[in-house]
Structure formats: structure tokens, C-alpha cells
Structure 1
Amino acid sequence: MGRTTLDTAALAHELRLAVMRFSRRLRNQRVDTSVTLTHLAALSTLKRHGPMSPGELAGHERVQPPSMTRVVVALEAAGLVTRTPHPTDGRQVIIGLTSAAEEMLAAEAQAREAWLAGRLQELTAEERAVLREAAGIMDKLASG
């Protein structure tokens, strides 16, 4: 193995671990811990992509439809999602967010961003500039 390959493999390892630790810390900046991370992910998908059937939601979340059915039932019981009849398929329903879910998602995002902004203030201007550049590079890696 050449030096470049070893350097790339080492960077991949370090970056994977750093991103996992960072993601875990960011996820832990929660406002409402009564909602599980699985439920929060489903709500975030509905926020990002709009109302959809439970099957479509399961596809986005990469879980089996019966698992998503349990998530939807719990979210509906918590007053976070609504079910409306599907416009063309009487056997289906469409899941959408309630205003309570919208407010909770906004509060969750604000809490995470406030925590991150505080941590960024602890860095030097040069370190923040490096992270600004790294954010674009990480977006490029994620979209490829």
C-alpha cells in the first residue's frame, strides 16, 4: 500500500470517529426527551419532505412498514401527527405534522444550534474559518 492510500485510510478512520462523536453530542442537545430519536427522525422527515403515507415514511427512514406503523401510532397518540385519507387510494392514509410537532422541531433545532454556536465561540477565528470550509467539503462528501 502506498503512503497516499495509508494517509487516506487513516483520515477516513479519524473523520468517521470524529463525526460520530460530534453527531452524538449534537443529538444529546435535546429539549423534549419524551420523544425518542426514532420518533424525532420520522418527524424531521415529514418536516423536510411533507405529508406522506406510512409506507413512504418507512422508505425514507429505511425501516419496515410494521415498525413505522408503531412509530406513527405513538406520534399520533402524542398529538404530533395527523392521519388524513389518501386522495386517490382509500386503503391508505397520509401522515402530516401537527402544529405541536412543528413547534417542537423548531425548539429542538434552536437548542442544537444554540449549543453549537456556544461551542464555536470557544474556537479561534482561524479554527472557525477551517470549519466553515470543512462544512462545504463534508456536504460534497455527503452528496456524492
Structure 2
Amino acid sequence: MTTDTAPEPSPDDDLVADLRLGVMRMRRRLVNERHPDNDLSISHMGVLAMLHRHGACTPSRLAQLERVQPPSMTRTVNLLADRGLVSRAPDAVDRRVTHVHLTDAGRAVLAADRHRRDAWLARRLDELDHSDREALRRAASVLLRLAQED
């Protein structure tokens, strides 16, 4: 018989809690700073960003990248296509395969949204002294490494 015991406290427990809380609060603030004309969900914006970052993708690849089920991605792509933010085109070799492309309108929505959030963050960073900005510069690369997929 095994007994479940609480893990031993770690010297990093406070760091873990502070990072989790800080990252969650920063995400919430950045979400709240979205462009007011943008009524797309964060998930929809994530698909636009993924297409911007990776180029054209199949819906199944987008589902994999966004960690959602293919039927959910199909609904998302349909909504984005209906709004003219993405387009679909058949593969040149295998006509059964469809590629989703970011349109100019999709790029504009993404750019406006990013610009507003980046401007808010830049204003907040301007309030910090040089040493705090340098600490965040170093922390940003560490956070990106931590967030990478296994």
C-alpha cells in the first residue's frame, strides 16, 4: 500500500508561485489591452498569429500547433474565412489537402492588436529603471525557453 504524502518544500516554491502569478497577471493585462474593435477570441487571434509565424498551414497542422481538436480548428478557420481574415487554397499536388493562408485583412487585424498591446507594455517598461529593464530583458529569454514545447 502506498501513501500519498505532500512533496517536501523546495527552496524554489516561492519562485514557482511568484512566476506563475506574475505570468498569469501579465497575460490578463495584455488580453485586456486588446484593440477595442477586435471582437475575435484569443483563440482566433492565436490562429492568425500562428499563420503569421509559420506561413500557410493545413487545418490539421494548425490544430496540432494550437493544441485543439481538428473539428474545433475547422470551426475557427471557417469563422476567420467568413470574415476574410484567412483564405483556403487546395494543395498544388494533392487537391484533397487544403492550406490556410493569412490574408492582408488578417495581417492588419493582427498588427493593430499587437500594436496596441505593445504600446501599453512599452509605456509600462518606460516607468522602470535601467536595471529592472535589463533584468526583464534577461528574464524574457528564459521565459521563452521555459515555454517551449518538450
TM-score, normalised to structure 1, is 0.90
Superimposed CA distance per residue, residues 28-50 of structure 1 (whole angstroms, 9 cap, x where no aligned partner): 21113311111100111111111
Of the three residues 93, 110, 113, the one matched with 1:108 is 113
**Count of residues in Structure 1 that have an aligned counterpart in Structure 2:** 142
Cross-structure match for 1:8 = 12
Write 1 or 2 for the structure with the bigger share of helix. 1
Superposed counterparts of 1:38-53, under 5 Å:
38-53=43-58
The match for 1:70 among 71, 75, 89 is: 75
**Offset, 1:128:** 1.5
Q: Matched residue of 1:91: which SS?
A: coil
Q: Give the whole-Å Cα distance in 2 for the aligned partners of 1:46 and 1:136.
A: 23
In angstroms, what is the RMSD of aligned CA positions? 1.7
Measured at CA, do residues 52 and 136 of structure 1 come closer, stay the same or move farther in structure 2, by a change above 3 Å? closer
User: Identity of paired residues, percent?
Assistant: 44
| Deviations, residues 60-84 of structure 1 (Å, cap 9, x unaligned) | 1111111111001100111100011
Deviation at 1:92, TM superposition (A): 1.9
Tell me, in whole angstroms, the C-alpha distance in 2 between the residues paired with 1:26 and 1:54.
Answer: 27
Q: Which runs of 5+ in 2 are unaligned?
A: 1-6
Q: 3-state DSSP class of the match of 1:7? A: coil
Length-normalised TM-score, structure 2: 0.86
Q: Do the aligned partners of 2:57 and 2:101 also contact (CA within 8 Å) in 1?
A: yes
Q: 1:135 aligns with which of 133, 136, 140?
A: 140
Q: Gaps (5+ residues) in structure 1? A: none
In the alignment, the residues of structure 1 paired with residue 141 and residue 124 of structure 2 have an alpha-carbon distance, to the nearest angstrom, of: 19
- Specify the SS of the correspondent of 2:87: strand
For 1:77-115, what per-residue CA distance to the aligned partner results, in whole angstroms no more than 9, with x for missing partners? 111000111122222211101101111111111111100
Structure 1 Cα separation of the partners of residues 50 and 119 of structure 2: 22
Report how far residue 133 of structure 1 moved.
2.1
